[in-house]
Structure 1
């Protein structure tokens, strides 16, 4: 009976983690370049139940069957699908059209990677993210730039007919991405410079790839699973109460 309490609690914890992931996806549905995440569950090892008997004074075990011991969130997977491209005609808006390609930005914690191309120019004309982190080119921070700078499909930056720099574009393996918030990622895998031809669209933003109706359906499913496991715990709790307060009093 106590095993049922642990199984129900494990199911509730897994459902809680799943609901937090879904809530995070919904909260970032308007974040440019955001990639939604999904979780997958795995079962704890199943235990075999044996009945021990001494029939005819000969010890023996009879296999009854297996019993589950609950579930746990196995892994969280990033959905590496490009979001819808939206034309804005704003020069500082850059969309990355190739998957697994990221801009490189300089942060206090070192170089980080982002697909959020909603950039801006600071007071000195340096290209930076909305959070104020410098965007890096092949020669370092990019700028100063005028408001009429141009970016070609290969990431080359020109301003008033002068070649300024080229965006530093890297390919990061999906399995190596470590999310750090603020649309930034680190990587525990080696990154490579982008070797393709076209990867940038100026005056365009890549939207989030989160599908709101799909997330709502998943949230309903997760909440029902949470409530079912909660009911299991309540049932076991009521059974334990009867065993302690009623059966014990009769004996």
Structure 2
């Protein structure tokens, strides 16, 4: 019975983690370039239950297997491309192909599909957090407000070729999220030929209806485990207060 309490508790913890992931997805519904995440559960190894004493005192009778609960195995990211939203803002860029923009942060290179960039006071193209967008030759800039970006990522400004936006390809399972739309790669990245659209951004790929269904499923699982814990607690109370008197 005590084991049952622990098993139900693992179910509560797994449901809580899943609800946090769903909540994070919903919060980032309007975050450009955000990729939906899902939490997958894994069962703990089952335990073989045996009963001592069958027809003979020394006989061992196999009762069967008993589950030991569940846990969250890992977070998986959906790499489905979000819809493109036209903004007509010169510094907004969207990737219409697989791959990621490269930005330089104090902690090193990071990767993103959030194309909300802006020009700083020195004409350098940066993210909203101040991280510089990287080209083949390094940080991109200085640029005038009239720069243009071709479909292959080539940047032209005042009739001169400035640089080409650096795009890399990374397997989705090699990405680790940092913040809302930045990622770290846990393996070497490969250069990719990116297709860039200026004056647009990629929207979040979160499916709101799907997240609402997932949230209801998680809530039902949480409530079911709560009910089981309450039932087992009542049974323990009777075992202690009533059966113990006999």
Contact 2:155-2:162 within 8 A present in 1 as well = yes
Contact 2:31-2:180 within 8 A present in 1 as well = no
Report the counterpart of residue 218 of structure 1 in structure 2. 214
Equivalent of residue 181 in structure 1, options 179, 182, 186: 179
Per-residue deviation, residues 19-45 of structure 1 (Å, max 9, x unmatched): 011001001110111110111111111
Report the counterpart of residue 44 of structure 2 in structure 1. 44
Report the counterpart of residue 130 of structure 1 in structure 2. 128
Contact 1:173-1:189 within 8 A present in 2 as well = no
Structure 1 length as normaliser, TM-score? Answer: 0.95
Instruction: Give the count of matched residue pairs.
Output: 246
Q: Any idea what SS the aligned residue of 1:215 has?
A: helix
Report the counterpart of residue 148 of structure 2 in structure 1. 150
CA distance in 2, matches of 1:40, 1:219: 14
* Alpha-carbon shift at residue 46 of structure 1 (Å): 1.2
Q: Any idea what SS the aligned residue of 1:55 has?
A: coil
* Alpha-carbon shift at residue 168 of structure 1 (Å): 1.0
Report the counterpart of residue 28 of structure 1 in structure 2. 28
Contact 2:35-2:181 within 8 A present in 1 as well = no
* Alpha-carbon shift at residue 247 of structure 1 (Å): 2.7
Contact 1:43-1:72 within 8 A present in 2 as well = yes
CA distance in 2, matches of 1:162, 1:235: 75
* Alpha-carbon shift at residue 5 of structure 1 (Å): 0.3
Point out where structure 1 has 5 or more consecutive residues left out of the alignment: none
